[in-house]
């Protein structure tokens, strides 16, 4: 067992920190107010090779593993980006990168992977109005008609519809079989924009660095060769996308939680309310931040382990990812909440940037998977308790 960073990992960690420091709090405040994609960060990540680092070298990428990408994601978050980079990190390397590099055929790799190194964004459309936690309920249909599929259905809460070049649609190519609910699910890659796809963005609490939409698909045609993996049997491909999504989100949450703690400590060291002593000297403020630090340090170990298992292709990755995702979201939301409390009224004000971290982190208890579903998975598959639903 080896716990240190390799030289290459240290380099990526430090590079990500340097990139993050080029983007001020004011920049992120503006992105939040304008509900805008941080294209400037995306350009910097492309220019420095971070966005393509996990894409295979033969397609122009860096050929690193998910662990390295997780380390870079955490570092970006910790050094100022917070969750602000997550739309980019998931929309490129995960929704497109891991889907195609693990399950695409040669033509698909040649077609899509170089674009991902250069910053192409993808939308990943799993969720539907009746298929959120219960993803096997997907009812969007893709019907084969000669050399193409015709897709009809509605997707819900789909991020990155604005500006995405491609959309990976998780659809049924055969009707739901109640005895084998995961059979008949396929992944099709379509190009955006498309006249048969309408996206209506929601207003939302946080994560305003990416749009999140209700998506109406009405007769979209997708060439037959754009199906990724086995038609009707994509469970493995689906989890080869969902697991890295959860890992990268969790890594970013750890970094963002640490950022919130740092901001709170800096504030508290300067603020005096009763005479000369700074408020940071009160145990009532120290303990919660120290507790948050413990939660995040432990979560980070699990995030790294999950990423390492993914890179090894181990089936143990799924449970490690579930635990990591839960621990990271729980610890980071707690950290941001306590950071706000430490700062009193200032913590509530937008100009200090900590309330934004909390709003952005709050999403992670809901997406990519809810914390209740994570606990269900742990209870059933790790503890061996009966399924409760
Ligand atoms: C900002 C944002 C961005 C998103 N981006 C994307 C995206 O890009 N692509 C995409 O496909 N999806 C996306 N999602 C969707 C996200 O993955 C779902 O919201 C999430 O999986 C939960 O599904 P749901 O909202 O339908 O909640 P539901 O499934 O309706 O759950 C509602 C509540 O019931 C609880 N619950 C449900 N079943 C159980 C059970 N068996 N036991 C205990 N509790 C249970 C849940 O934990 C939750 O608290 C996004 C969501 C948000 C909010």
Over residues 225-268, the pLDDT tens digits come to 999 999 999 999 999 999 999 999 999 999 999 999 999 999 99
> What angle separates helix 354-362 from helix 317-342, to the nearest 10 degrees?
150
Q: Which run of H or of E encompasses 337?
A: helix 317-342
pLDDT digits (tens, 9 = 90+) for 111-155: 999 999 999 999 999 999 999 999 999 999 999 999 999 999 999
Average pLDDT of 287-307? Answer: 98
Neighbours of 258 (CB within 10 A): 22
In a domain, 305, yes or no: yes
Pair (103, 126) in one structural domain: no
Biggest distance spanned by C-alpha atoms of the chain: 80
pLDDT of residue 1: 86
Reply yes or no on whether the pLDDT at 298 is more than 90.
yes
Distance 365 CA to ligand 1 centre (A): 9
pLDDT for 92 equals: 97
Q: Looking at the domain assignment, is residue 387 inside a domain?
A: no
**244 shares its domain with 184:** no
Across the range 259-278, mean pLDDT stands at: 98
Ligand 1: nearest atom to the Cα of 206? 1
Stated as kind and residue range, the H or E segment containing 371 is helix 371-377
User: Within this chain, do residues 362 and 244 fall inside the same structural domain, yes or no?
Assistant: yes
Q: Does residue 50 sit in the same domain as residue 104?
A: yes
Residue 388 inside a domain? The answer is no
Pocket test for ligand 1, best of 370, 372, 373 (most atoms within 8 A of CB): 370
| Distance from residue 349's CA to the centre of ligand 1 (Å) | 29
Q: Which atom of ligand 1 is nearest to the CA of 129?
A: 26
Q: What residue's CA is closest to ligand 1, atom 44? A: 372
Pairing of strands 166-172, 122-125: parallel
Write out residues with Cβ below 6 Å of ligand 1.
Answer: 124-127, 132-133, 157-159, 204, 207, 212, 363, 366-370, 372-373, 376, 389
Domain limit, last residue, from 91, 117, 143: 117
Find the 367 Cα to ligand 1 centroid distance in Å: 6
pLDDT digits (tens, 9 = 90+) for 336-368: 999 999 999 999 999 999 999 999 999 999 999
Q: pLDDT tens across 155-213, in order?
A: 999 999 999 999 999 999 999 999 999 899 999 999 999 999 999 999 999 999 999 99
User: Are 246 and 369 contained in the same domain?
Assistant: yes
Q: State whether 220 and 137 are in the same domain.
A: yes
**Mean pLDDT over each residue of the chain, to the nearest integer:** 97
Nearest CA to ligand 1 atom 12: 127
Q: Which residues pair with 148 in a beta bridge?
A: 145, 223
Question: Do both 220 and 183 map to the same domain?
Answer: yes
Interval 217-232 mean pLDDT: 97
- Asked if the model's pLDDT at residue 47 lies above 90, the reply is yes
Contact 181, 334 (CB under 8 A): no
Range of the domain at 11: 7-117
Q: Are residues 347 and 275 in the same domain?
A: yes
Q: What is the whole-number distance in angstroms between the Cα of residue 370 and the centre of ligand 1? A: 6
């Amino acid at each position: 067992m080896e716990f240190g960073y390799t030289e290459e990992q240290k380099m990526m960690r430090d590079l990500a920190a340097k990139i993050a420091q080029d983007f001020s709090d004011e920049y992120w405040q503006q992105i939040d107010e304008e509900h805008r994609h941080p294209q400037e960060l995306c350009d910097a990540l492309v220019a420095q090779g971070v966005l393509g680092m996990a894409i295979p070298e033969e397609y122009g990428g860096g050929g690193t593993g998910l662990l390295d990408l997780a380390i870079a994601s955490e570092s970006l978050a910790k050094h100022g980006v917070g969750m602000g980079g997550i739309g980019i990190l998931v929309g490129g390397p995960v929704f497109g990168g891991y889907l195609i590099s693990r399950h695409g055929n040669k033509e698909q790799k040649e077609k899509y992977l170089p674009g991902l190194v250069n910053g192409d964004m993808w939308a990943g459309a799993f969720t539907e109005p009746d298929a959120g936690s219960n993803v096997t309920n997907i009812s969007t249909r893709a019907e084969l008609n000669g050399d193409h599929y015709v897709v009809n259905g509605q997707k819900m809460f789909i991020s990155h519809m604005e500006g995405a070049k491609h959309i990976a649609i998780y659809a049924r190519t055969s009707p739901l079989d109640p005895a084998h609910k995961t059979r008949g699910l396929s992944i099709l890659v379509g190009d955006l924009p498309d006249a048969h796809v309408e996206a209506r963005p929601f207003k939302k609490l946080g994560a305003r660095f990416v749009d999140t939409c209700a998506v109406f698909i009405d007769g979209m045609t997708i060439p037959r060769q754009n199906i990724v993996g086995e038609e009707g049997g994509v469970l493995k491909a689906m989890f080869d996308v969902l697991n890295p999504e959860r890992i990268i989100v969790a890594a970013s949450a750890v970094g963002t939680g640490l950022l919130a703690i740092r901001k709170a400590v800096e504030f508290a060291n300067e603020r005096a309310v009763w005479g000369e002593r700074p408020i940071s000297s009160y145990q009532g403020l120290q303990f919660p931040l120290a507790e948050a630090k413990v939660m995040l340090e432990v979560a980070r170990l699990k995030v790294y382990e999950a990423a390492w298992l993914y890179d090894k292709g181990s089936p143990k990755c799924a449970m490690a990812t579930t635990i990591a995702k839960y621990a990271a979201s729980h610890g980071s939301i707690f950290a941001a909440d306590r950071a706000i409390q430490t700062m009193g009224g200032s913590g509530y004000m937008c100009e200090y940037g900590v309330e934004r971290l909390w709003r952005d982190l709050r999403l992670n208890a809901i997406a990519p998977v809810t914390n209740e579903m994570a606990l269900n998975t742990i209870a059933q598959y790790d503890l061996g308790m009966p399924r409760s639903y």
